[in-house]
Structure 1
Amino acid sequence: MTTFPGSPRLIKGALVGIDPLNPLAGIIVFQYNPETMTRRLEARTAGGEGDPGEATRLSGPPRETITVSIEIDAADQLEQGDTAAATLGIHPALAALEVMLYPKSAMVVANTALSLLGTIEILPMEGPFVLFVWGPQRVLPVRLTGFSITEEAYDPLLNPIRAQVELSMNVLSYQDLSVLHPGHSLSLAHQVAKEVLATTNTGNNAQNIIAGLQL
C-alpha cells in the first residue's frame, strides 16, 4: 500500500453481524481488501418456460450470490508487539467469522430445556443478521452460505497466524425478509439507489449516441 501523504484513504470492506446483546462481537473489518469479487445474478421469472405473455414477467428481484477471498494475517500485530496476537494468533478473527454460522448458545440451551419439558413444537433457531459492507453504494443484508479456511502459517504454540478465507454468501432481498425486518427496507433502498445509477448511465449513453449521429 502506498505511503504517499496525498493518496486517498482506502475504505475497507467488512462483515457486520447485528446482535443487540453483543454489538462488538460480529464486526469483521477486512484487513486487506480482496482484489476481486465474483457476483452472480439469476432472474426470478414468473410462470413456466414458453407460457404466453410471461416471458418478461418477474416474480421478484434477482437471486444474487457473492464469492470473495479475504486474507487474515497477524504479521502487523506481531511486529507491533500486540499481546492478543502473540498469545492467540488470528483465532479471535476466525472465531468472529465462524460464529456468524452458529445459532446463539443461549438459544440452544433454552430450546434444549423446552424439549426436556415436553414442548412438541420448537421453532428453528434464528441465525445472526449479517451485513456485507463494500463502500457506501453496497451495504447488503446477506446470508453466509459457507466458507473455506486455509490456514497457512502457525506460531510455536500452533496458533494460526495467517489464513485465506473463501466466503460465499447469498444477498437477501426484500422478498426474502418480512416487512418489519430491518433488512427489508435496506434491500429496497439498495435497489432504488441502483435504479438511480442505471439512469445516470442511460443518460451518458444517450449523449454518446447523439454525438455519434452528428459526426
Structure 2
Amino acid sequence: MSNLQLRNPVRGFLVSVGLDPEILVQFQYNPDKVTDKRSVSYATLNAPGMLMPVRQYSAGGERTLSFTVVVDGLFKGPADDEIDVARDERGGIGPELNKYRAFVHPRTERWQDANGAPDGFTGLYAGAETVFAAPPTCRFGFGERVVDCVVTEVSITEQLYNPDLDPIRAEVQVTLAELTPYNPDPAAGGAI
C-alpha cells in the first residue's frame, strides 16, 4: 500500500465563528460537487441614436457556494474513525441534522437543546430577546478553500427512517454567501 492509501481522507467542514458551544459539522461524505457562483451588477446606459446600450459596472455582487452532503446513520463514512455522525438515543440522525438547522436560526448558545424537543428550535426563543439575533456566521472549509460566510439556505431531504420514524439517512443541501473580505464603516451602513 502507498502512503496515499493509508492516509485518512480530508473532510470538508462547516463551523460557527464566535459561538460557544460551537457548531461543528464535519462532512461524513464530502459533496461530489461544489457550485461557486459570483455575480456583478451593470447599469444600462441608453442614449438617443445608439445602436446598443452601453453597460457601466456599478457594483460587485455576492459570491455564493452551494453543495449537497449525505448524512448516513447506517454506514460509516470513509473517515469515520475521526468523524462520528451525531445520533439520538434511538439511533436517529436528528442531532446531526440540527447542526445544519442551527446555522439558519437566530444565534443562541442553547442550539443543542433543540435535539429531542417537540418544537425543535422554536421553543428555544420563547420570551427571549435572541429571536431577532442574526444566525451565526461560519467558516466553510473544503481542501485549500476556506471561506468566511453565512448560511443562507438549508434544505434537508430525509430518505430513510428507523422503526420509530426517526431519520437515519438524509441529503442536506446548503447554500452559503461569502462575507465581505473588508470591514466597511458600520456608521455608513456597512454590513457584518
Letter in 1 for 2:129: N
Partner residue of 2:29 out of 29, 32, 37: 32
Q: Give the share of equivalent positions with the same residue, in percent.
A: 24
Q: Distance in 2 between matches of 1:161 and 1:41?
A: 35
Aligned to 2:115: none
What 5-or-longer segments of structure 1 have no aligned partner?
113-122, 181-215
Is the 8 Å Cα contact of residues 137 and 151 (structure 2) preserved in structure 1? Answer: no
Aligned to 2:120: none
Aligned to 2:51: none
Is the 8 Å Cα contact of residues 101 and 127 (structure 1) preserved in structure 2? Answer: yes
Aligned to 2:117: none
Which structure shows the bigger proportion of residues in helix conformation? 1
How far the C-alpha of 1:59 sits from its partner, in A, is: 3.8
RMSD: 3.5
1:110–1:85 Cα change, 3 Å: closer
Letter in 1 for 2:45: G
Q: SS where residue 28 of structure 2 aligns?
A: coil
What 5-or-longer segments of structure 2 have no aligned partner?
48-53, 111-123, 187-192
Partner residue of 2:106 out of 99, 103, 106: 103
What does residue range 23-172 of structure 1 map to in structure 2 within 5 Å? 23=22, 26-45=23-42, 48-50=43-45, 57=57, 59-60=59-60, 62-76=61-75, 84=87, 87-104=90-107, 108=125, 109-111=127-129, 124-136=132-144, 138-172=145-179
TM-score, length basis structure 2: 0.66
Moved >3 Å (runs of 4+): 3-6, 54-60, 82-86, 104-110, 177-180
Q: SS where residue 96 of structure 1 aligns?
A: helix
Letter in 2 for 1:68: F
Q: Distance in 2 between matches of 1:73 and 1:83?
A: 10
TM-score, length basis structure 1: 0.60
How far the C-alpha of 1:83 sits from its partner, in A, is: 9.9
Aligned length: 158
